[in-house]
Structure 1
Amino acid sequence: MILKQYYLGCLSHGSYLIGDEKSGQAVVVDPRRDIDEYIADAEANNLSITGVINTHFHADFVAGHLELAAATGAWIGYGRRAETEYEIRTFGHGETISLGGVELEILETPGHTWESVSVLVREQPGASPDAVLTGDALFIGDVGRPDLAAAVGADPDELARALYSSIHDVLMKLPDDVRVLPAHGAGSACGKNLSDELESTIGAQRMMNLSVQPMGEDEFVAMIRSGQPAIPEYFAVDAVLNRQDRPLIVDGGNLRALTVREMQDAAARGARILDTRSPEDFAEGHLAGTLNVGIDGRFAETAGMVVGADEEIVIIADPGREEEAAMRLGRIGFDRVVGYLNTPARAFAELGDIVQRGERVDVETFDKERRDNDTTVLDVRNPGEIEDGAVPGSLRIPLAELARRHDEVPTNRPVLVHCAGGWRSSVGASTLRALGHTNVRDLAGGYSAWAAAHEPSNA
């Protein structure tokens, strides 16, 4: 048996290739849209990808089932409650899929969504299970959140109660030595306490995962309904796209270089200019009105918080990283990238009045201005992060909600934006400027730097 995990850190996304070396058959579970790695590994192991299984309709990325089916002729499988515009196979609880000797058993585990399933993997029929691919039902350290499917009409409380049963009556009934392989890890907005470990066992989760401990259903529902990260608006779009017979991902090699004039024309018709350089480089000089989402971070997910899914996008990137940026946007279904600015960052100084500087302040300046001036401190962290501490008197709007709630930020006074470490604050500050706020700066080092400076030994 071949069982390989592919982990994409920027989306905290785990996908899997399961194959039988003797029969040469394989399936891919929860694939991303850029599928070359799956195909290359299958070929290297003399495997043919005959099926693709999605454990549920993902909301945080667009899955690559259509791309894999087009490239390999594989069937596409879901739990029995799934309905799609494209042809699928559906599987009920206890149904098996034979890859030759290797056997997959479908476990219905609704709760994150109604159609959610987990995939139990055995090296041969009748053997003790080796692993369970739990999708977004059971994570390492937590369980899936039940409120994302509200975007397609599901009731979060009903889903939470279904998840209680899925955890306690299905997954926690498995043997302790079964490996747990989830669809997401730390940083994902699909849960709140996810571990940075990439695999675990049922026994380890039984001991260490607070969300699977014995408790009543009402207690479980209250626990998983509270403290969840803010939901990026593109999640609702992707949850629908994964049901649709949508276009395949665009080849990044076709990305077009634009002149400054062409970029300005695109902006005039409503395109978003997305500067993917670091917050530090962005602050040194950038085109007025651009959004800063650094590519060396949770790039696609964060871009999806501040750019509309229906907007055209022009990319500004360090030379050689334009296609990477476009491909990563494509992973969340943002395919309307019209090109990239064919002007290196070092030439910005020659572009005159369309260039502006951002201003990042240190902790000392931050404290002085928030105390001495009529200044708004804006905290763009998630609710769970704020539980660990916050700057007194700060206005709190999660970054994922800032674009639609920016009118809550006063426009008649300076604004100082901060996050945890100084990356998201640049996104938030640039978003406010693009939306018409004029006097906006952000805190270098974020709350971590501020809290360190205010420890008792440093006071």
Structure 2
Amino acid sequence: DLPDAVRVFPAHGAGSACGKNLSTQRQSTIGEQRATNYACRPMSREKFVQLVTAGQPSAPAYFVYDAILNRREHGLFDAAAAPLPLSVEEFMRRRADGAVVLDARSPQDFAAGHLRGSVNVPADGRFAEQAGMVVAPEQDVVVIAPQDREEEIVTRLARIGFDKVGGYLREPEGAFPALAEDMTQASRLTADELRSALAGAEPPLVLDVRNTAEREEGRIEGSLHIPLAELARRTEEIPAGRPVVVHCAGGHRSSIAASLLRHTGRTDVSDLLGGYGAWLALPAPADV
């Protein structure tokens, strides 16, 4: 019922998990939305609900937590009182006491060497949103961050209400040699290696962690689909005693998902380098 001239300022921008097909515009008008927005055309209530919910990505688990938190009085985040760097001994003591190690380095650096049981959520991406998918807000967290980005990582976690960060490892690359017994590497397969494994006597389970709309555009035959936002609460759906290869669209979310599965105790977990894009780029199998 609002007139066309009323201005609209969206609360969320393109790329947000709060909706689909979000525009990059930072302001608009009701009139412009009537003329251009697919969801503002005249239609029944039932048609509208069906239209806007089809292909909608799964909401990260922290959305409910934040909705509850926003109804309460909550102190402002004080960047000056941010967690301090931890020595190796302090860091490992907090880890032993149950803190989740959140490793914000790139999937490549994480795969090359990381603390056993760490969860990899790369800083270069939708870090806070994805961290909120795989780490529970009540969990204590200690951080391993790319060099000079420690305070940034802590601040981005605080923006979604995750303010139980106990500190970060001071100069991790220099600290890792002293932690050699607790370090491990992550298995990553090329698309060709995955195809060969699937043709073998004991094929792995392929886990697709893309969103539903992405999967509808194509899938690896026989793969199990659990979107990353739902994985933490649906791990029991993944058959035990079988190797797992995780894939997403390009290899970013699959590193997060694979590290989460290892964190929960699964040992034979790999992720697909290049994701579904690399799988599609495979040449057709040679004729026998």
Is the alpha carbon distance of 1:433 and 1:326 closer, same or farther for their aligned partners in structure 2, counting shifts above 3 Å?
same
1:235-274 map, 5 Å: 235-251=63-79, 254-274=82-102
Letter in 2 for 1:397: I
| Residues 382-391 or 393-402, more deviating | 382-391
Instruction: Determine if contact 1:252/1:326 at 8 Å carries over to the other structure.
Output: no
In the alignment, is the contact (CA less than 8 A) between 1:253 and 1:323 conserved in 2? no
Cα distance in 2 for partners of 1:357, 1:252 equals 35
Deviation at 1:253, TM superposition (A): 5.1
Per the alignment, residue 300 of structure 1 pairs with 128
The aligned residue for residue 240 of structure 2 is 411
Q: Check conservation: 1:252, 1:323, Cα contact below 8 A.
A: no
Provide the C-alpha distance between the structure 1 equivalents of 2:164 and 2:142, rounded to a whole number of angstroms: 9
Matched, 1:287 2:115: yes
Inter-partner Cα distance in structure 1 for 2:276 and 2:7: 37
2:168 is the counterpart of 1:316: no
| Cα distance between partner residues in 1 of 2:218 and 2:229 | 20
Q: Which residue of 1 aligns with 2:217?
A: 388
CA distance 1:250–1:271, change in 2 (3 Å): farther
How far apart, CA to CA, are the structure 2 residues paired with 1:296 and 1:445?
16
How large is the Cα RMSD of the aligned pairs? 2.0
SS at match of 2:167: strand
Are positions 1:193 and 2:31 aligned together? no
* Aligned residues of 2:4 and 2:32 also touching (Cα < 8 A): no
Which consecutive unaligned segments of at least 5 residues does structure 1 have?
Answer: 1-168
* Equivalent pair of 1:378/1:418 in contact (CA under 8 Å): yes
In structure 2, relative to structure 1, the CA distance for the partners of 1:454 and 1:209 (3 Å cut) is farther
Deviations 1:97-149 (CA, angstroms, capped at 9, x unpaired): xxxxxxxxxxxxxxxxxxxxxxxxxxxxxxxxxxxxxxxxxxxxxxxxxxxxx
2:48 aligns to what?
A: 220
| Separation (CA, whole Å) in 1 of partners of 2:280 and 2:177 | 36
| Amino acid across the alignment from 1:262 | E
Larger strand proportion, structure 1 or 2? 1
**Alignment partner of 1:194: what SS?**
coil
Q: 1:438 aligns with which of 261, 264, 267?
A: 267
SS in 2 for 1:404: coil
Who is 1:398 aligned against? Answer: 227
CA drift at 1:224: 2.1
Measure, in 1, the Cα distance between the counterparts of 2:178 and 2:124: 26
* Maintained 8 Å contact 2:4/2:29: no
Alpha-carbon distance change, 444 to 282 in structure 1, aligned in 2, over 3 angstroms: same
Name the larger-Rg structure: 1
SS at match of 2:23: coil
In 1, the alpha carbon distance for the partners of 2:256 and 2:237 equals 17
Contact 2:101/2:141 (<8 A) preserved = yes
- The answer to whether structure 1 residue 174 and structure 2 residue 4 are counterparts is yes
Task: Give aligned-pair identity as a percent.
Answer: 51
Deviation at 1:344, TM superposition (A): 2.4
Give the direction of change, closer, same or farther, for the CA distance of 1:445–1:198 in structure 2 (3 Å limit): farther
Local SS of the residue matching 1:453: coil
Contact 1:255 1:339 in 2 (8 A): yes
Aligned with residue 348 of structure 1, among 163, 167, 176: 176
1:389 is displaced (CA, Å) by: 1.5
1:234 to 56, 62, 65: 62
Distance in structure 1 (CA, Å) of the matches to 2:46 and 2:62: 30
Q: TM-score under structure 1 normalisation?
A: 0.59
Aligned partners of 2:241 and 2:277: how far apart in 1? 28
Tell me the distance in 2 between the aligned counterparts of 1:334 and 1:252. Answer: 17
Q: Alpha-carbon deviations, 1:389-411, whole Å to 9, x = none?
A: 11111101111111111111122
Deviation at 1:225?
3.0
- Which whole-Å deviations, capped at 9, do the CAs of 1:317-353 have from their partners, x for residues lacking one? 1221111000000000111111111242254244222
Q: Report the AA paired with residue 386 of structure 1.
A: R
Supply the distance in 1 between the matched residues of 2:18 and 2:88 (Cα, whole angstroms).
39
CA distance in 1, matches of 2:35, 2:223: 38
Distance of 1:254 and 1:245 partners within structure 2:
20
- Please report how far the alpha carbon of residue 266 of structure 1 lies from its aligned counterpart in structure 2 after TM superposition: 1.0
Q: Which amino acid aligns with 2:105?
A: R
Say if 2:91 and 2:142, in contact at 8 Å, map to a contact too.
yes
